Structure 1
Amino acid sequence: MPQAYVLGSPIGHSLSPAMHGAAYVALGLTDWSYAAHTVDESSFAQFVAGCGPEVRGLSLTMPLKEIAFTVAEPVSHRAELAGAINTLVRTESGWLGDNTDILGVIGALAPEGRVARGRHSGLLLGAGATGRSAVIALRELGCRTVTACARNPGKALDSLGPLTEKLDVELTVRELEAWPTVKSDLAVSTLPPSGARAATDVLEAGEADLSGIRLLDVVYADWPTPLARAAMARGASVVSGLDMLAHQAVEQVELMTGLRPDWKVLLEAGQAACTG
Structure 2
Amino acid sequence: MSGSRLAVWGDPIAHSKSPALHAAAYSVLGLDWEYERRQVSAADFPGVLDSLDRSWRGLSLTMPLKEAAFRATASRDRHADLTGAVNTLLLGSELSGFNTDVGGIIDALGEAGVTDVRSVRILGAGATAASALVAVAELGATDVDVRARRPERAAGLVELGGRLQVSVTRDALSAPSTPVDLTIATLPSGTALDTDLAERLASDGGVLFDAAYAPWPSALASVWGNGPVVSGLGMLLHQAVRQIRIFRHGDPAVELPDEPHVLAAMRAAL
TM-score (norm 2): 0.89
| Cα deviation digits, residues 41-74 of structure 1 (max 9, x gap) | 2221222222222211100011111111332111
Contact map agreement 1:123 1:182 (CA 8 A) in 2? no
Q: Percent same amino acid among aligned pairs?
A: 41
- For 1:14 and 1:139, locate their aligned partners in 2 and report how far apart those are by CA, in whole Å: 28
Partner of 1:115: 114
Equivalent in the alignment of 1:273: none
Give SS of 1:66's match: helix
Write the letter of the residue equivalent to 1:116. T
SS of alignment partner, residue 94 of structure 1:
coil
Which residue is equivalent to 2:193?
A: 197
Q: Which one of 221, 228, 235 corresponds to residue 237 of structure 1?
A: 228
What SS does structure 2 have at the residue aligned with 1:103? helix
| Structure 2 residue aligned with 1:150 | 148
- Verify the 8 A CA contact 1:138 1:186 in the aligned structure 2: no
Counterpart of 2:216 in structure 1 is 223
Contact 1:152 1:175 in 2 (8 A): yes
SS in 1 for 2:220: helix
Say if 2:190 and 2:215, in contact at 8 Å, map to a contact too: no
- Structure-to-structure mapping, 1:1-276, within 5 angstroms: 2-29=4-31, 31-91=32-92, 93-111=93-111, 114-117=113-116, 120-156=118-154, 158-178=155-175, 181-198=177-194, 200-204=195-199, 208=203, 210=205, 213-231=206-224, 233=225, 235-258=226-249, 260=256, 261-262=259-260, 263-270=263-270
Q: Secondary structure at the match of 2:243?
A: helix
Runs of at least 5 residues in structure 2 that lack an aligned partner in the other structure: 250-254
- Matched-pair contact (CA < 8 Å) for 2:180–2:204: no
Q: Any conservation in 1 of the 2:122–2:186 contact (CA below 8 Å)?
A: yes
8 A Cα contact 2:122 2:129, kept in partner = yes
User: Which amino acid letter does the alignment assign opposite residue 186 of structure 1?
Assistant: L
Q: 1:157-214: CA deviations, max 9, x gaps?
A: x1211101100101122221247x432112210012454423x44133788255xx22
Classify 1:102/1:83 alpha carbon distance in 2 versus 1 (closer, same or farther; 3 Å): same
**TM superposition shift of 1:141:** 0.7
Q: How far apart in 1 are the matches of 2:192 and 2:139?
A: 25
* Cα distance in structure 2, aligned partners of 1:206 and 1:2: 46
> Matches of 1:27 and 1:236 in 2, distance apart?
38
Change (3 A) 1:209 1:163: closer
Q: Which moved more, 1:242-251 or 1:47-56?
A: 47-56
Q: In structure 2, do the counterparts of structure 1 residues 224 and 195 end up closer, same or farther at CA, with 3 Å as the change threshold?
A: closer
The aligned length equals 259
Hey, which of these two has a bigger chunk of helix by percent?
Answer: 1
- The amino acid that maps onto 1:177 is S
Are 1:109 and 1:186, in contact at CA under 8 Å, matched by a contact in 2? no
Tell me, in whole angstroms, the C-alpha distance in 2 between the residues paired with 1:63 and 1:54.
25
Unaligned stretches of 5+ residues in structure 1:
271-276
RMSD: 2.1
Native 8 Å contact 2:189 2:215 kept in 1: no
Output the amino acid matched with 2:104: G
- Whether the 8 Å contact between 1:122 and 1:146 is mirrored in structure 2 is yes
